[in-house]
Amino acid sequence: MIRLSCASLSFDGFGDEDFVHTFAKVNEAGYKHLEFNCWYPRTLTPAKTRDLGERCRQAGVSAGSMHVSSFGGEGNHALAKDLAHKLRAMAAVKELGGNVLCATGAARGKDGGLESIITVLKELLPAAEEARILISLENHVGNNLENLDDYRRIFDAVDSPALGVCMDTGHFEAASVSLDDLIDEFWQKINHIHLKENRGFGAKEFVRFGDGTTDNVRAVERMIEKGYSGYLVVEVSPEIGPNDDRPFTIDDLKKPYEMFKRYETEK
């Protein structure tokens, strides 16, 4: 099963917009599946989950995955709060009918580093296995989750069929990580894919699809050849802009849909 999805940040940016733009534009853009970026407190309440479920039904779309605030914290109190946050987020994903919870880490060396992520994962993963929710760890440039060594340390310390890598193509390239190297080593662990375009290898400059050098098609096709089953989540990054002041239009969302829709299979 391959399902093409779009992240709500592509429509609503980084602000707390109550997903208004997402639901206003998702049908015109063509997507039938969404990833909700639930970074604000009210976005994870049971009432909001019910609201999002009803709005999805009205729009004829499904919520396959959710992205939430990062793993991390120093001290028992902070780690307990982080675990509670991820447990509630996991429940919210399930309430929406999805099965993937995605999060990254804090800035490099902050909030306990990789050790804090490992500590929380050890407690979270039994619950994820029981709930049949996939936990997907996304890399970000300059983050505790950034390069291949970070993932090696994670998987050496804790392993579970519920735990995997979110392959964010743009972020890996920005962090000087070859997508081929990532796939060669971790293809069995990649359980979620974010499709993003970066200007060039080794420096973070996200751009519109077609304006960069990230070979998303090759990465997707390599993963499909290896048996990947899951979501391809398009991210038209809100960080596009410093060197591109053109207004965003619906075509910026339609273009990646047209690029990747041929990979969709529902079985």
**Residue among 102, 224, 117 at smallest CA distance from 171:** 102
pLDDT digits (tens, 9 = 90+) for 17-69: 999 999 999 999 999 999 999 999 999 999 999 999 999 999 999 999 999 99
User: What does the alpha-carbon distance between residue 134 and residue 6 come to, in Å, rounded to a whole number?
Assistant: 18
What is the residue extent of each domain of the chain? Answer: 2-263
User: What does the alpha-carbon distance between residue 213 and residue 197 come to, in Å, rounded to a whole number?
Assistant: 7
Residue 209 is given by DSSP the state: T
For residues 38 and 92, the answer to whether their CB atoms sit within 8 Å is yes
pLDDT at position 267 is 61
Angle of CA points 234, 240, 244, to nearest 5°? 130
Q: Is the pLDDT of residue 1 over 80?
A: yes
Q: Is the pLDDT of residue 266 over 80?
A: no
Minimum mean pLDDT range among 50-59, 85-94, 223-232, 235-244? 235-244
Architecture of domain 2-263 in CATH? Alpha-Beta Barrel (3.20)
